[in-house]
Copies of this chain bind each other. A is one copy, B any other.
């Protein structure tokens, strides 16, 4: 079948031996990238050139759609072999993406042990520690000696994903302490595990959110973190490579949501339809919300006809005020995102923002006055003064909203990044225009009464 496929695909057979040699020598992730960029009909051929270990490793790095395609075009036996040797967390991720029918068939063909491991992981909700953990870890019983522990690991733990920490449990599988492979290696073989293991174990529950897992591992510089169930029984571990990916994803989400990209997970090379789906709803939402801001201006059309310099000043005013708000919003959201601050710090941050905001308000207000004098004809110079005062006020409103809105969402256990930048600028425009135009109209009215 391979030979026939190769004839049909037009690949030069003489090069195949060289290719096979290369593909088995390269890093799995690089081979994964190579296979992904091949035309569809050549992917399965290239994949079948891999030897057994390399095939499993490469498979884990392929994007879900290519994985599914390969599952459909490879021999069943080979598919089962690969899926059986995948690590349980990667397998769970794969099953998440595949059609239910395929998953059911594959589950039936797995060994009972691996089937159980996958079912356990898939039983936890997405985004929790239970879902990203692997069930392959090194467990030692209390009372073993260092030498016996090392022998046990040599015999039984050869294929475990991470062997750099071993977790010590009691007779009920309760997690008691942790010992590093380094400690085992540097201690005499007849010392008891209990004498060197540390009971300062940083651990999480299966239901702990994955961001919290990531922050804990970062804080304590861990390369693996044990996961326990409600009865404190060890059920899995989370490894640092998964956490690095989680941290990247979370940062991408924060940054994109702030910009008004739905879900915050658009890739630069997403297809156009995905791009439209993620961005357009926000844009339309913001346009409709902006009816509020525009309606704040509409009643003042006669004022604007009388003082047309307002149309020159208002956009400057709105652009600057919006930027002030987004700055405060971004610093607050990122502070929450990296775990620097919590809603408890709201008042502390607000105080700091307002103190800094006063300096900013003064400077921006004065600049506003100077700049608007450029465009105002002599009889409309008084407008500059009003613009400066409103600019200063709006600055203080902007930093307040930029701080309080995300903190409020976080306190309500919602995602603070839902408060996107465009939402804040829209609110600020509505408030700012309203104040500004009301003041100008009132002033005009008073002038008219006087004259």
Show the binding face of A for B, using Cβ within 8 Å.
25-27, 29, 150, 153-154, 158, 163-164, 181-182, 185-186, 200, 202, 217-221, 223, 240-241, 243-245, 247-248, 251-252, 254-256, 258-261, 266-273, 275-276, 279-280, 282-284, 286-288, 290-291, 293-295, 297-298, 301-302, 304-306, 308-316, 318-320, 322-324, 326-327, 329-332, 334-336, 338, 340-341, 345, 348-349, 352-353, 355-356, 359-360, 363-364, 367-368, 371, 374-375, 421-422, 425-426, 429, 433
Q: In chain B, what residue has the closest Cβ to A262? A: B327
A200-B26, A304-B304, A327-B279 known; A371-B255 Cβ under 8 A: no
The 26 sampled A-B contact pairs (Cβ below 8 Å) are A27-B202, A218-B244, A218-B248, A223-B240, A252-B338, A255-B258, A256-B331, A259-B326, A259-B331, A261-B330, A268-B341, A268-B345, A269-B341, A271-B352, A273-B356, A287-B316, A294-B312, A295-B375, A301-B311, A301-B375, A305-B305, A311-B311, A315-B315, A318-B318, A318-B319, A319-B422
Given the complex, which residues of B lie within 8 Å of A422, measured CB to CB?
Answer: 319, 322-323, 326
Pairwise interchain contact A320-B240, C-beta atoms closer than 8 A = no
Given contacts A251-B251, A256-B330, A279-B324, 12 further A-B contacts (CB under 8 A): A26-B200, A27-B202, A181-B185, A251-B255, A268-B332, A268-B334, A269-B345, A272-B352, A275-B353, A283-B364, A305-B308, A314-B315
Contact among B164, B269, B429 with A340 in the assembled complex (CB-CB below 8 Å): B269
Interface centre among A240, A266, A275, A310 (most CB of B within 10 A): A275
Pairwise interchain contact A266-B223, C-beta atoms closer than 8 A = no
Q: In chain B, what residue has the closest Cβ to A261? A: B327
Pairwise interchain contact A327-B276, C-beta atoms closer than 8 A = no
Give, as a whole number of angstroms, the nearest-CB distance from A409 to chain B.
Answer: 15
CA distance A89 to B444 in the complex (A): 67
CA distance A53 to B241 in the complex (A): 28
Contact among B186, B241, B320 with A290 in the assembled complex (CB-CB below 8 Å): B320
Give, as a whole number of angstroms, the nearest-CB distance from A422 to chain B.
Answer: 4
Given the complex, which residues of B lie within 8 Å of A245, measured CB to CB?
Answer: 218
Contact among B220, B324, B348, B353 with A283 in the assembled complex (CB-CB below 8 Å): B324
Given the complex, which residues of B lie within 8 Å of A327, measured CB to CB?
Answer: 259-261, 279, 282-283
CA distance A380 to B260 in the complex (A): 32
Nearest 5 A-B pairs (CB), nearest first?
A268-B335, A251-B251, A259-B330, A275-B356, A272-B356
Interface centre among A288, A302, A330, A367 (most CB of B within 10 A): A330
A256-B331, A270-B352, A294-B315 known; A363-B429 Cβ under 8 A: no
Contact among B241, B244, B260, B266 with A323 in the assembled complex (CB-CB below 8 Å): B260
Give, as a whole number of angstroms, the nearest-CB distance from A86 to chain B.
Answer: 14
Pairwise interchain contact B335-A267, C-beta atoms closer than 8 A = yes
CA distance A150 to B184 in the complex (A): 12
Pairwise interchain contact B258-A356, C-beta atoms closer than 8 A = no
CA distance A77 to B425 in the complex (A): 57
Interface centre among A220, A241, A308, A368 (most CB of B within 10 A): A308
Pairwise interchain contact A360-B276, C-beta atoms closer than 8 A = yes
Pairwise interchain contact A338-B241, C-beta atoms closer than 8 A = no
Q: In chain B, what residue has the closest Cβ to A432? A: B315
Pairwise interchain contact A293-B308, C-beta atoms closer than 8 A = no
